[in-house]
Amino acid sequence: MSRIVIEKELCKGCEYCVTYCPKQLIHIGTAFNSMGFKYAVPEDKEGQCTACGICALMCPDAAIEVYQTEK
Ligand code: SF4
Ligand code: SF4
């Protein structure tokens, strides 16, 4: 199973990760971080993330980490 963690304080809400996740597992939330940006939030869709790493690759602020755990 795979999952991602988004560090909200590093996110500026550019939506690259939202746009490029092939599984549409990320959205921009309604809350603001301390810099005043609405930040990206992973969606809790069990088993959908393939750990492809595209979201982390696209993020200009290195706010996303991808974890792949043993099945
Ligand atoms: S690792 Fe791939 S599937 Fe998982 S959230 Fe990121 S872009 Fe989407
Ligand atoms: S690509 Fe990075 S900075 Fe942009 S919305 Fe996603 S997590 Fe935030």
CA distance 17 to 13: 9
Question: Taking 90 as the threshold, does the pLDDT of residue 42 lie above it?
Answer: yes
Query: How many domains does the chain fold into?
Result: 1
pLDDT at 52 over 90: yes
Mean pLDDT of the chain: 95
**CATH classification at residue 15:** 3.30.70.20
Q: Which pTM value belongs to this model?
A: 0.93
Residue nearest to atom 8 of ligand 1 (CA): 21
Is 56 near ligand 2, meaning CB less than 6 Å away? no
- Residue ranges making up the domain that contains 29: 2-68
Which residue CA neighbors atom 7 of ligand 1 most closely?
Answer: 21
> How far is residue 4 from each of residues 32, 33, 36, 54, measured CA to CA in Å?
20, 18, 22, 11
Residue 14 C-alpha to ligand 2 middle, in angstroms? 5
Using pLDDT thresholds of 50, 70 and 90, give the confidence band for residue 18.
Answer: very high
pLDDT of 45 reads 80
Cβ(38) – ligand 2 distance below 6 Å:
no
